[in-house]
Structure 1
Amino acid sequence: MLNGSVRRVVATAQNGLEVVRLGGLETEARPSDFRIVEREPMYRLRRYFPDDVSDSAGTPRPPIVLVPPMMMAADVYDVTQEQGAVGILHSMGLDPWVVDFGSPATEEGGWDRTLADHIVAISEIVDRVHKHTGQDVHLSGYSQGGMFAYQAAAYRRCRGVASLVTFGSPVDTLAALPFGIPGDIAAPAADFLADHVFTRLSIAGWMARTGFQLLDPVKTAKSRFDFLRQLHDREALLPREQQRRFLAQDGWVAWSGPAVAELLKQFVVHNRMMSGGFVIGDRPVSLAELTCPILAFVGEVDDIGQPAAVRGIRRAAPRAEIFESTMRAGHFGLVVGSLSASHTWPTTGAWVRWRAGLGPSPDGIAPMIAEDLPEAETGVSVTDRLLHTGASMAEVGVGAVRGVLGATAQAVRGSRELSAEAARALPRLVRLGQIQPHTRISLGKLLAEAGQRSPRGECFLFDDRAYTNESVNVRIDNVVKGLIACGVRPSTRVGVLMETRPSALVAISALSRMGAVVVLLPPTEDLREAVRLGRVATVISDPDNLRTAETLGPPVLVLGGGESRVLNLEPGSETVDLERIDPDAVELPAWYRPNPGRANELAFVLFGRFGGEVEAKHITNHRWALSAFGTATAANLGRGDTVYSIAPLYHSSVLLATLGGAIVGGSRIALTRGLDPERFATEVHRYGVTVVAYTWTMMRELVDSSDSGLDASHPIRLFIGSGMPRGLWLRTMKRFAPAQVLEFYASTEGAVVLANVSGAKPGSKGRPLPGSTQVRIAAYDPVTGRFLEDDRGLVRECRAGEVGVLLGQATGAEAVSGAMRGVFGAGDAWVATEHLFRTDSDGDHWLMDDKNSVVTALRGPVYGEPIVDALGGLDQADLVVVYGVTVGGEEIAVAALTLRPGTSLTAADLADALAELEPGQCPDLVHVVPEIPISNSYRPRRGALRAAGLPNPGVRAWYYDAGRDGYRRLTRAVLTDLKQRGSAALTG
């Protein structure tokens, strides 16, 4: 016994001395043979077993590229030749390649590496391996390396990629974070680290090693204890010594600060592997573009790449065929150790052979099914943890702590979310409340502030390209210099006639930055009238609208058009190409101060058609700011949002709500070339669109299209806009569930902004936004066009349910004209809108009609919007308009509607749809028409139908029989009687 004890002590001392001197026990193991085939500043590309790249029959082996995590050495795939990845894969007939990024600490420029550098490098490696082998590549990666593989394959849209294989690689990072940290706590923390820590600090290799060991302290402690306990038994330790040394010491490399910051920002703070829209270089990318087969290895007890996070790929890549292989393993056990040697790598090899047509499908894989776990679940059960570690008491303690933390997180989740919303909303409302008439506030100023806060943050996306805040502001400043060189000064009214494109946004912003007035010219037949009403001194055009612009009279400046721009200016033309002006050659005059616009100064002139006439609406900086801050608050816009406008820039809701709200919220703006269902689906995924801005009936084409290509995995959470009919609203929510609709009403003059924030009452315009002016509904007679007064001579305020004109209180910050004085009290001032409203018992506002569109029937006024809402609720209905037709000196109410394809309409359908309306508010006639014209902003037009007069009799036209309280088919006899006797003919 004594000799045995002495030998044990001596052996322990000898082995311990060897560990201290060499870092571990000498195993005599040698790495697998490899050759560095490609050497670049970002990487070295290893080809293992380079002299054996084909089988015995001379058939080339299928190539597989293995990508390590950013913080781990490439040798993770070759810890031992017998149990390492490259050795096993080669023995199964594959051609293994490994990416070696080296360490930032030893590579030139390593500390400046970005996440995009790694993705672009992997994409380049795919091309090079393809060139060497002549075959598509099976791209694989462990942990973060698998994330890289996903991103690189999506970046190149799977070109040259035969399949993807990942090991413990999270996709839905916020679904399951290490230690069970709630996502709504982790995201703000990661945001702070990305902005304020990793911009100045990188992570050394020892820091990475320590951090990952702390992620599973029980297993780390147990491993060290087992090693010390067996230190006397060299033969027992040697089989696992290479693995131990790799994980404990040799396998870790440094992380560059910019790469870590970008990873945290894009994939933790904004979770853009799930939503799409992560940016590589200047290109937005989405995993929804993955189409190649995918095999994901899931560790049942992996607390780093937790099952719920790994299985996020199922929702993020809906077009791909995705399989999974589950293992009772932790994060490192997936790729290193005996279990990986017996399961991970043989399964991987069999997968590649199957996909290459060289063998059957491997055992142990199954199609991945997206499962909806409870919010507190991550997919790793306490039981699995207990069985995995063997340290029961310790693990129960850890599990109990996690359970307490999870319960606590669940209990306070609601209050935390409310606090997060309040934290965003409060500063916006405070700033809005502090705006005084001479406060400097403008679109240009807010863009400049965004550039100062986050120069490298993305400002907007267009044509598969991302533009940073810094580049956008530089472009704006350069255009400002060009405008100054052309004689534009503060307060100059400049017309903007441009399609939706980056240069249009830049032109608007540049004019705002120098204090000029932006006159947004809609490309319609009323351009000359708009130029006259807007008192336009100069026109900025893009090449597409140049010929039209030159016919309007004022001098023309041309901006943008892309690389293919061809102006073909006539000889002697006075048109100026702003792109040819060298900004460095322009000397700024003494009067120039950037962003001088004050709250009470005119900023924009917009146009609308009211009563058949074009009218100019004047928007001050304060009015713009009110909509911008209000939209950002109501829609809870933040830096993780991408706001996608399918409406043209010249539309008032886009300028006031979409652009303004996104800028205030720090959200990205995504622009599109036009409304097309296929383009919409592609760009929603590629840009990671979370909020879609619409106008009027714009959503029709997207809701009804069978080619939209969007399923329940889409990232959209909200549609915002104005004018959407109730029926289309309901169809939109059904088609794009669980997304909601946030409908606004904003008067173009004054400061009235209503919003249906809750979405609980489709069709309602909601209530005034915080910061909006006080609103009231004034009693009004639409027949005489007069306000109704009380016995004191003041205008009477409407009761709930009573219809009147919506008024907004005039404020000193608004440069309004024509304010009404002495309305509800002596000396007060109110601005009347053009619209009639009522409120319900809850105080929500409902639009009833335009003042000029009310049908003044003999029985009293008939309001159009309730009819549109009622008929639009029919499943068969597409568009609905209501208008008046004069017959025998009186006006009758006519409703026209179009039907959705393959549907028909009956009198019983009409009766059911209109049953909730009072008989006096039902339309006299209803008829189906083949088409209802819509304007450029997608607003249904009724002028042509009104001008056509009464509808033709037939099976698609009905009249309201008041005596029977129902609808009957409109016959020629009834129509003749109607023309002779007027509405009396409809009562029988």
Structure 2
Amino acid sequence: MGWYPEILNGSVRRVVATAQNGLEVMRLGGLETEAQPSEFRVVEREPMYRLRRYFADEAADVARPPIVLVPPMMMSADVYDVTQDQGAVGILHGMGLDPWVVDFGSPATEDGGWDRTLTDHVVAISDIIDRVHKHTGRDVHLSGYSQGGMFCYQAAAYRRCKNIASLVTFGAPVDTLAALPLGIPAGLATRAADFLADHVFTRLSIAGWMARTGFQLLDPVKTAKSRLDFLRQLHDREALLPREQQRRFLSTEGWVAWSGPAVAELLQQFIVHNRMMSGGFVIGDRPVSLAELTCPILAFVGEVDDIGQPVAVRGIRKAAPKAKVFESTLRAGHFGLVVGSLAAAQTWPTTGEWVRWQDGSGPRPEAVEVMTRVEQPADETGVSVSDRILHTGASIAEVGVGITRGVVDVTSQAVRGTRELSVEAARALPRLVRLGQIQTHTTISLGRLLEEAGAKSPQGECFLFDDRAYTNESVNTRIDNVVRGLILCGVRPAARIGVLMETRPSALTAIAALSRIGAVAVLLPPTADLVAAAELSGVGVVVCDPDNLAAAESLGARVLVLGGGESRLLDTEPDSGTVDLEQIDPDEVDLPAWYQPNPGRANELAFVLFGRSGGRLEAKRVTNYRWALSAFGTATAANLGRGDTVYSIAPLYHSSVLLATLGGAIAGGARIALSRGLDPERFEAEVHRYGVTVVAYTWTMMRELVDNPAFGLAGNHSIRLFVGSGMPRGLWLRTMKRFAPAQVLEFYASTEGAVVLANVSGAKPGSKGRRLPGSTPVRIAAYDPIAGTYLEDERGLVRECAPGEVGLLLGQATASETLDGAQRGVFAAGDAWVPTEHLFRQDADGDFWLMDDRSTVVRARRGPVFNQPIVDALGALGQVDVSLAYGIPLGEEELSAVAVRLLPDASLTAVDLTDAFAHLAPRQRPDLVHVLPEIPISNSYRLRRTEIRATGLPNPGVRSWFYDSEQDKYRRLTRAVVTKLRERGSAALTG
């Protein structure tokens, strides 16, 4: 029994030691370790940061490669120096590096700290790079942990890697929506983040204890285990001391507050819109993309990291296609990547070896390998099931706590399955309801929608241009200022004012300001049609930019000049009466009593556009209702939202830009990105920099990109949709192949009526789809295109076409439109329908197919020949670039001809043509086919028929063919055949 006292004494000592150590923890917050922090000097001090240089005296004596370490926004800078022997700065210094650490301090103790934004942090890091480079004379290795790593990516892209030798990140997520902590569904996360950013963090910040608690809750099992381990060993001071600094840092000392604006900006840009991946995040007023990163990158990946999950971290490989990206994988969780024994043994030595390799003073580290791009399934995070089970299960076994995270994963998959439909319905329903509520006297206009956007989200981005972002607030302020200048110059509601401007912010401002006054914007094309358009519209006042000043003054109208920069000289004619709107002080203008912002009603004229039909210039009148129909219709069909950036290449005076591109973006709350024109290099740079998700096109525009072998955007872009009208079927197929998985949304819209068709599914390339919900009902009337008359039934009413039959498309007249041009008593007594200019057929599924413009139908001897099916048939041939079908006058009849442009190094044979047209009825096949080196294209990228038609019969040769109806095949066009055709035409004229 002599061992009882021994046991008793041991138990007593354990209890006493536990009590002593516990009292020390309660009194001091932890155990005294006598550990000393590494020596550092604060070499730069700014309101946003203090810049520490560790071991500064030694660094000054020896040329060491500088490495800047950036902490997350919610964590103390001491994360890199928890203990000198195991901390980052001590290990990196020992390997011959010059470590610098950014200390943002705590918003709670810094002047203006609670007002800090994410932009403030990124710009501060950029400034720090300049300062370290100045101190050392060397390029900087920039590194960051978690959100600090995100800052590093953003700052490097912001300065386009200037003076940056390499980037090193630790558990820094890039594709944030690919894998969220705890398997939270992306749809749920984005909606929650959107709400928090808009309504919570604009008023509330996150205290340090909140940040600590939140991150501990992300891994509650590990948190509980570490606390229980500490309690179990509280009697054994020697066992606790080696990890005490780390425990105190993660439990209490290491956490600092987050400012509300910074959190809101983080949530909006990188959770809601995931713009680390797509590009287009805004720093200050500059759009930025990680695609601009060109320096080498090393990303540390934690195999069991549930915060910076592997698939999210590896998103940098896709987001930065121009950079050489490497990775180093550790079997560690989020905190274990930078703090603790594993970090001391692997992370920091590997980092030091990486820096030496990049500086040319050492070999490539064994633990570093090229990051390969592996497409993960939608339900994979990169943390394998086995790794998660082993990592979490071991903790659960030790602590005795069960957390069925798998239940969350299973539930999240079910939520993901319904997310897309619910989001689309949530976006579409309010738009369709509002569209249905528009009546004749409803106030609706471009100016009103912009004002509503500004009231809803003042700091939201409205549009991007020339690498600058403009907020809703700044855009509306600029519009209101221009309104005052226009009113001072005598502009009143309903006045028709010409707008002659290139694509630039001031052009959009001018159009919106006229809308806000209630005036009519007449969009004059700065082309050969300018004089004719001005005469046709009869405008007496023209708003122009400096580039078009001379052309505007030549029209004989009063000229108002807007935009062009702050320091520009206007070369005006003497005594011309030209007014520089930029010289008017808006604060000095008293608004008249009649001014009411955005008075435009649905049935009132909003815009006048110009287009050619049958070779004639025509003015197209667009009411506010017609504009709103296209705007809400495009936003609905394209499912546009705040995460979208709609990119417009075509000029503003083009109808599809004003109606669909600008209108759809504004109605959908998306950003508008304006470009100075179509250029492959500019397109690639702006798509990345602006984070473009939707590209607006017109006619054959996309061939400049799709068929350019030097164009390299394919596979590395955020584009999900191409939206526009008039794309040929062959180009449509090539576009989807080149930009996969992006789709094409083809519209048909009558400019003056309310007819809108859309091929939303994209399942039938070439089809115009079906009537867009909210637009006017449509019907196809039986029609004789030769006589230009309707075909009636036995009751004297117009007969509706059967499926497959070609007729004239009509839209039902609406109460919100004026009935100018409407025809009554068409299908029933008293009804009213507005005819379009186009012939259609409807297939058995209900989809509409454009057949021709009624003014261009070929009036052949055998009957009408429709041009569009011929073009669609050739579009199926892989060697055809574009084609244009038209009629060649031959006496009193026309021959059906088609001009073809081939892709480079492609050839065309008679057999190809015979096969391509085999599905067309013989009466609908073209008489003549010929290959041309070029086909004329207009400024709006539409193929021009007039010039080719004027050349007459094609020349005989190996690149021309005719249809031999007797043999039912195409044959080479010979001189004898051409002579015979000419004789037939002459005989018809003289007979």
TM-score (normalised: structure 2): 0.98
Residue in structure 2 matching 1:651, options 633, 636, 654? 654
Whether contact under 8 Å (2:541, 2:557) holds in the other structure is: yes
CA-to-aligned-CA distance 1:480-503 (integer Å, 9 cap, x gap)? 000001000000100101001100
Establish whether residue 665 from structure 1 lines up as the match of residue 671 from structure 2.
no
Residue in structure 2 matching 1:604, options 599, 604, 607? 607
Give the AA of the match of 1:824.
F
Residue in structure 2 matching 1:87, options 85, 90, 96? 90
Whether contact under 8 Å (2:182, 2:408) holds in the other structure is: no
Residue 456 of structure 1: aligned partner = 459
Establish whether residue 3 from structure 1 lines up as the match of residue 6 from structure 2.
no
Residue 347 of structure 1: aligned partner = 350
1:397 CA drift (Å): 9.8
Residue in structure 2 matching 1:30, options 24, 33, 36? 36
Residue in structure 2 matching 1:689, options 689, 692, 701? 692
Residue 639 of structure 2: aligned partner = 636
1:709 CA drift (Å): 2.8
CA-to-aligned-CA distance 1:242-278 (integer Å, 9 cap, x gap)? 0000000100000000000000000000000000000
Alignment map for 1:647-796 (pairs within 5 Å) = 647-796=650-799
Between Structure 1 and Structure 2, how many residues are aligned?
982
Give the AA of the match of 1:752.
V
Whether contact under 8 Å (1:888, 1:980) holds in the other structure is: no
CA-to-aligned-CA distance 1:352-375 (integer Å, 9 cap, x gap)? 000000100001111111222221
Residue 16 of structure 1: aligned partner = 22
Residue in structure 1 matching 2:947, options 944, 948, 970? 944
Residue 4 of structure 2: aligned partner = none
Whether contact under 8 Å (1:164, 1:295) holds in the other structure is: yes
1:982 CA drift (Å): 5.2
Residue 48 of structure 1: aligned partner = 54
1:931 CA drift (Å): 1.4
Whether contact under 8 Å (2:222, 2:395) holds in the other structure is: no
CA-to-aligned-CA distance 1:387-432 (integer Å, 9 cap, x gap)? 3356354699999733222223323433232111111111111111
- Give the secondary structure class of the aligned counterpart of 2:57: coil
Whether contact under 8 Å (2:225, 2:398) holds in the other structure is: no
Alignment map for 1:828-977 (pairs within 5 Å) = 828-977=831-980
CA distance in 2: counterparts of 1:389 and 1:802, whole angstroms: 66
Structure 1 unaligned blocks of 5 or more? none
Whether contact under 8 Å (2:318, 2:716) holds in the other structure is: yes
Residue in structure 2 matching 1:446, options 437, 449, 455? 449
Whether contact under 8 Å (1:607, 1:614) holds in the other structure is: yes
CA-to-aligned-CA distance 1:289-325 (integer Å, 9 cap, x gap)? 0010000000001010000110110111111100111
Alignment map for 1:275-354 (pairs within 5 Å) = 275-354=278-357
Residue 118 of structure 1: aligned partner = 121
CA distance in 2: counterparts of 1:204 and 1:599, whole angstroms: 50
The 3 A distance-change label for structure 1 pair 481 and 230 is: same
Alignment map for 1:245-644 (pairs within 5 Å) = 245-389=248-392, 391=394, 393=396, 401-563=404-566, 565-644=568-647
Give the AA of the match of 2:141.
H
- Give the secondary structure class of the aligned counterpart of 1:814: coil
CA-to-aligned-CA distance 1:603-654 (integer Å, 9 cap, x gap)? 0111111121111111110110000000000000000000000111111111
Give the AA of the match of 2:469.
A
Establish whether residue 194 from structure 1 lines up as the match of residue 197 from structure 2.
yes
- Give the secondary structure class of the aligned counterpart of 1:649: coil
- Give the secondary structure class of the aligned counterpart of 1:391: helix
1:59 CA drift (Å): 5.1
- Give the secondary structure class of the aligned counterpart of 1:801: coil
CA distance in 2: counterparts of 1:535 and 1:751, whole angstroms: 25
Establish whether residue 60 from structure 1 lines up as the match of residue 63 from structure 2.
yes
1:578 CA drift (Å): 0.4
Give the AA of the match of 1:157.
R
Whether contact under 8 Å (2:183, 2:412) holds in the other structure is: no
- Give the secondary structure class of the aligned counterpart of 1:175: coil
1:213 CA drift (Å): 0.6
CA-to-aligned-CA distance 1:227-248 (integer Å, 9 cap, x gap)? 0110111110000000000000
1:559 CA drift (Å): 0.5
Whether contact under 8 Å (1:883, 1:946) holds in the other structure is: yes
Structure 1 range deviating more: 6-15 or 329-338:
6-15
1:444 CA drift (Å): 0.2
CA distance in 1: counterparts of 2:325 and 2:344, whole angstroms: 23
1:878 CA drift (Å): 1.4
Whether contact under 8 Å (2:649, 2:674) holds in the other structure is: yes
Residue 3 of structure 2: aligned partner = none
Give the AA of the match of 1:597.
G
1:919 CA drift (Å): 1.1
CA-to-aligned-CA distance 1:138-188 (integer Å, 9 cap, x gap)? 000000000000000000000111000000000000011011001011000
- Give the secondary structure class of the aligned counterpart of 1:955: strand
Whether contact under 8 Å (1:457, 1:468) holds in the other structure is: yes
TM-score (normalised: structure 1): 0.98
CA-to-aligned-CA distance 1:814-863 (integer Å, 9 cap, x gap)? 02412111100111110000000000000100000000000010111100
Q: CA RMSD in A?
A: 1.4
Whether contact under 8 Å (2:928, 2:961) holds in the other structure is: yes
CA distance in 1: counterparts of 2:398 and 2:625, whole angstroms: 59
Whether contact under 8 Å (2:176, 2:271) holds in the other structure is: yes
- Give the secondary structure class of the aligned counterpart of 1:856: strand
- Give the secondary structure class of the aligned counterpart of 1:494: strand
Give the AA of the match of 2:411.
T
CA distance in 2: counterparts of 1:414 and 1:245, whole angstroms: 43
CA distance in 1: counterparts of 2:399 and 2:904, whole angstroms: 62
CA distance in 2: counterparts of 1:961 and 1:220, whole angstroms: 84
CA-to-aligned-CA distance 1:430-477 (integer Å, 9 cap, x gap)? 111001100110000000000000000000000000000000000000
CA distance in 1: counterparts of 2:305 and 2:415, whole angstroms: 26
Residue in structure 2 matching 1:812, options 811, 815, 820? 815
- Give the secondary structure class of the aligned counterpart of 1:956: strand
CA-to-aligned-CA distance 1:915-974 (integer Å, 9 cap, x gap)? 221111111000011211111111000101111100011111000111111111111111
- Give the secondary structure class of the aligned counterpart of 2:182: helix
Give the AA of the match of 1:807.
L
Give the AA of the match of 2:54.
Y
Give the AA of the match of 2:35.
A
CA distance in 1: counterparts of 2:568 and 2:482, whole angstroms: 17
Give the AA of the match of 2:557.
P
Give the AA of the match of 1:973.
A
Residue in structure 2 matching 1:801, options 800, 804, 820? 804
Residue 230 of structure 1: aligned partner = 233
Give the AA of the match of 2:608.
V
Whether contact under 8 Å (1:288, 1:316) holds in the other structure is: yes
CA distance in 1: counterparts of 2:969 and 2:415, whole angstroms: 54
1:715 CA drift (Å): 0.0
1:5 CA drift (Å): 1.1
Residue 163 of structure 1: aligned partner = 166
